[in-house]
Amino acid sequence: MTRDPEARTAGFAALLLSPIGLIYAVFLLAPLGYFLSVSLMKFAPAQLYVPVLTGENYARLFLDAYYRGIVLDTFRVAAIVTVATLVLAYALAYFLSRAPAALRGFLLFLVIAPLMTSVIVRTYGWIVLLGSEGLVNKVLVGLGIASKPLQLLNTEGTVIVALVHIMLPYMTFPIFSSLVAQDPSLVPAASTLGARPWRAFLEVTLPLSRSGMVMGSALVFTLTAGSIVTPALLGGRNFRMMGQQIYELVLSTFNWPLGSAVAAVLLACQFSVIFLYFRRTGRAR
């Protein structure tokens, strides 16, 4: 008795996916399940945690003003970085999509080039630029704009600027892909129908690039919310994001249950953004 071709194809696909499925189960799902279970345990300084179910870690996370402020600051900064990156990346992607083909490859390399450098190196570059003896302060003092070096580091604004710089390529490429995939005759067709350039952009180009904007925004928001190095080096002691707090709770104070609770909330929010992205793209299709 012969098997259905579709069943054989599905079985072969399952066989091909089984190795990666096993890797995900062992190295992703199992650790996630472990720290989610730890987040419901009671903290014990001598033992890290004791197997006593409790919800006090989540209660502390949302009722304590300090931790609640960290959660709100994280998502506020992530939203600001996402919006700022979206505006800058769209202009850059639009320019790249309209650039001559002979020059486009070189320009794309310039966009990719920062990704070849460690985040730590790029963050230290901002320290060199914005430090009290950095280039920016020397220029301001030399031009007489400031009488003394300004305090540019250890501020939320510096963290936002640096994160926008770091996240720019992640937003640029999805938007660029959606722009180059558009039919180049659509805008001239709109012009022949009487649409001005700005109207053709708002009613033709911008809506057709929405999928790239949504994908880039989801990617940048999730990466920004979980960032550790840049906020730690540029934000100072008075600025905290959830990634930093998880690192300190797990490796400094050894409060694994509370650190796991913070990680669980961060992960839930990141997965929610990704779920909304796939739901949005599914409806668009």
pLDDT tens-digit series, residues 138-189: 888 888 888 888 888 888 999 999 999 999 999 999 999 999 988 888 878 8
Is pLDDT at 13 greater than 90 in this prediction?
no
For 127, residues 6+ apart whose C-beta sits below 8 A from its C-beta are 134, 153, 233, 234
Greatest C-alpha distance within the chain = 89
Higher confidence at residue 19 or residue 12?
A: 19
Residue 36 CA neighbour count, 13 Å, CB half? 11
Question: pLDDT tens digits for 232-244?
Answer: 999 888 888 998 9
Query: What pLDDT is recorded for position 69?
Result: 92
Q: Which residues pair with 43 in a beta bridge?
A: 49
Cβ pair 190, 200 in contact under 8 A: yes
Is pLDDT at 35 greater than 60 in this prediction?
yes
pTM of the model: 0.85
Is pLDDT at 198 greater than 90 in this prediction?
no
pLDDT category of residue 282 using cuts at 50, 70 and 90: low
Task: Please list, residue by residue across 122-154, b when 16 or more beta carbons sit within 10 angstroms of its beta carbon and e when fewer do.
Answer: bbeebeeebeeebebbeebeeeeeeeebeebbe
Higher confidence at residue 213 or residue 35?
A: 213
**Rounded Cα–Cα distance for residues 285 and 280 (Å):** 9
Would you state the CATH architecture of domain 60-284? Orthogonal Bundle (1.10)
Is pLDDT at 274 greater than 90 in this prediction?
no
The average pLDDT across 71-86 equals 94
The average pLDDT across 75-104 equals 93
Query: What average pLDDT does the structure give for the chain?
Result: 87
Query: What pLDDT is recorded for position 161?
Result: 93
pLDDT category of residue 85 using cuts at 50, 70 and 90: very high
Higher confidence at residue 48 or residue 226?
A: 226
Query: What pLDDT is recorded for position 178?
Result: 92
Query: What pLDDT is recorded for position 81?
Result: 96
Query: What pLDDT is recorded for position 169?
Result: 94
Domain ranges (residues) in the chain: 60-284
pLDDT category of residue 117 using cuts at 50, 70 and 90: confident
pLDDT category of residue 199 using cuts at 50, 70 and 90: confident
pLDDT category of residue 78 using cuts at 50, 70 and 90: very high
Backbone angles phi, psi at 117, to 5 degrees: -110, 140
DSSP codes, 218-232: HHHHHHHHT--HHHH
* % pLDDT > 70, the chain: 96
Is pLDDT at 65 greater than 80 in this prediction?
yes
Backbone angles phi, psi at 118, to 5 degrees: -60, 150
Is pLDDT at 2 greater than 80 in this prediction?
no
Q: What is the H or E stretch that residue 187 is in?
A: helix 186-192
**Rounded Cα–Cα distance for residues 125 and 70 (Å):** 26
